Amino acid sequence: MNAGLARRLEAYAQLMRLDRPIGTWLLLWPVLWALWIAGEGHPPQRVFIIFVLGVVVMRAAGCVINDFADRDIDPQVKRTRERPLAARRVSPHEALVLFGALIAIAFFLVTRLDPLTIKLSVVGALLTVSYPLMKRWFPLPQFYLGLSFGGWGIPMAFAATLGTIPRVGWVLFLAAVLWAMVYDTLYAMVDREDDLKLGVKSSALLFADLDKLMIGVMQLMMLYALLLAGRSMELGAWYRAGLAGAALCFAWQQWLIRRREPAACFQAFLNNNYAGMAIFLGILLDYTFRG
């Protein structure tokens, strides 16, 4: 392969964060929770494949449009100054073309599903596109992130599986929104000083010295919402064990952020992957070993 083309493809992959799959996993776990609960342990294969691919594509599209919106801010932040757009390895025009291609792929995938899910996907796409603007004026952009990336796949998963969105679907949606606020607040704590200088809004700045407390409250609220969802679906001991595993992860995250050190806050952010995995394993094992 031509060396120049290889570098260009590598830059595109980095722009889509394909080299950093943690974000994809954090978006995928709530979708898997919803698919397994909606399908009572046996989600339709076609729906499963479409949603997994859809999460990968929409996360990539979200990263591209986010970096496009932040192309003049990222060069001023140590953690983000080497991103392809910030480092000028990819032009804004190229980024928009790539974003359009990813949205087209996502649209093709969702058209394989039912009309209700397609309608919900339009709302999700609008939330995704508008999210980068929230950091300019909305004091709690992490909440908006939860609505768009973190949770909107849940009602879509129920709609695609059942043709409707039951109450448990909205309870799971609430849990996913709270979880996104938890892990993105941890992420925002890493950039707190830079965001303060640049005037970028974040929950870490809004919560100030109450940040650890607010994260803890949201973690407890998320676990309670998941407990209610489990009771509604009569999930048993395996599910509760999964929630206990997530609770242990949350306790570890609180320990990590006790001094608010940026590197430790980032480790706490990454640890949420294990929390989401524990919850999914609890759901999976509960349905697997049902009598």
232-258 confidence digits (pLDDT tens): 999 999 999 999 999 999 999 999 999
Q: What domain range includes position 218? A: 3-288
Taking residues 24-40, report their average pLDDT: 97
Predicted confidence band of residue 192 (pLDDT cuts 50, 70, 90): confident
pLDDT of residue 291: 60
How far apart (Å, rounded) are the C-alpha atoms in residues 246 and 184? 17
- Listed residue (168, 180, 61, 47) closest to 117, CA to CA: 47
How many structural domains is the chain composed of? 1
Query: How many other C-beta atoms lie within 10 A of the C-beta of residue 285?
Result: 17
Q: What is the pTM of this model?
A: 0.94
User: What separation in angstroms does the CA of 216 have from each of 171, 227, 244, 246, 249?
Assistant: 19, 17, 15, 13, 12
Instruction: Tell me the percentage of the chain whose pLDDT exceeds 70.
Output: 99
Query: How many other C-beta atoms lie within 10 A of the C-beta of residue 199?
Result: 11
For residue 98, the domain's CATH number is 1.10.357.140
How far apart (Å, rounded) are the C-alpha atoms in residues 205 and 129? 23
Q: Comparing 12 with 223, which gets the higher pLDDT? A: 223
122-181 confidence digits (pLDDT tens): 998 888 888 777 777 778 888 888 888 778 999 999 999 999 999 999 999 999 999 999
How far apart (Å, rounded) are the C-alpha atoms in residues 196 and 291? 55
